[in-house]
């Protein structure tokens, strides 16, 4: 399609990262609520992939603001996200509070070239 092909070796870790981010929003951001909203936005320029996952949940705690505390967290989900994005994609993860409330996670990654099968 117009968005381009994604190599299978990138699709699996990316799906795990997205699953962990959504699970994190539901379990922590929406705890005690009946509903919430999660938005996933994706942009691509050649091999560069930018994914933004936002929720309108409870947001980051004061100890998690600034992008680094959350990214170095000890939770298994956070470790999975950081390991795949930094090691598999040579990218970065930035956790930040949304001005409107909730959390925004920005992933910047580099995909491998898709091979014709």
pLDDT tens per residue across span 55-114: 999 988 754 444 443 444 558 888 899 999 999 999 999 999 999 999 999 999 998 886
What CATH number has the domain bearing residue 56?
Answer: 3.30.565.10
Residue 61 is assigned to a structural domain of this protein = yes
Distance separating alpha carbons of residues 42 and 28, to the nearest angstrom: 23
Residue 64 is assigned to a structural domain of this protein = yes
- For the range 15-19, what are the long-range contacts, defined as Cβ-Cβ under 8 Å and sequence gap of 24 or more? 16/80, 16/84, 17/80, 17/81, 17/84, 17/85, 17/107, 18/51, 18/53
Stretch 7-12: mean pLDDT: 88
Task: Note the pLDDT of residue 70.
Answer: 44
Contact indicator for 87, 93 with CB cutoff of 8 Å = no
Structural domain count, the chain: 1
**What is the torsional sign of CA 53, 57, 63, 66?**
positive
Chain Cα centroid distance, residue 102: 14
Contact indicator for 14, 108 with CB cutoff of 8 Å = no
Q: How confident is the model at residue 1 (pLDDT cuts 50, 70, 90)?
A: low
Residue 23 is assigned to a structural domain of this protein = yes
Three-class DSSP labels, 24-71 = HHHHHHCCCCCCCCEEEEEEEECCEEEEEEEECCCCCCHHHCCCHHHH
**Phi, psi values for residue 50, rounded to 5°:** -120, 125
Residue 15 is assigned to a structural domain of this protein = yes
Q: What is the pTM of this model?
A: 0.84
Range of the domain at 21: 8-110
Residue 74 is assigned to a structural domain of this protein = yes
Q: Is pLDDT of 43 > 70? A: yes
């Amino acid at each position: 399609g117009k968005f381009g092909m994604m190599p299978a070796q990138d699709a699996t870790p990316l799906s795990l990262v997205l699953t962990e981010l959504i699970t994190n929003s539901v379990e922590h951001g929406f705890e005690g609520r009946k509903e919430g909203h999660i938005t996933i936005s994706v942009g691509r320029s050649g091999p560069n992939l930018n994914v933004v996952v936002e929720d309108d949940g409870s947001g980051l705690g004061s100890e998690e603001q600034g992008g680094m505390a959350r990214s170095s967290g000890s939770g298994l989900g956070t470790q999975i996200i950081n390991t795949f994005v930094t090691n598999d994609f040579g990218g970065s993860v930035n956790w930040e509070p949304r001005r409107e409330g909730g959390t925004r996670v920005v992933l910047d990654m580099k995909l491998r070239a898709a091979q014709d099968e």
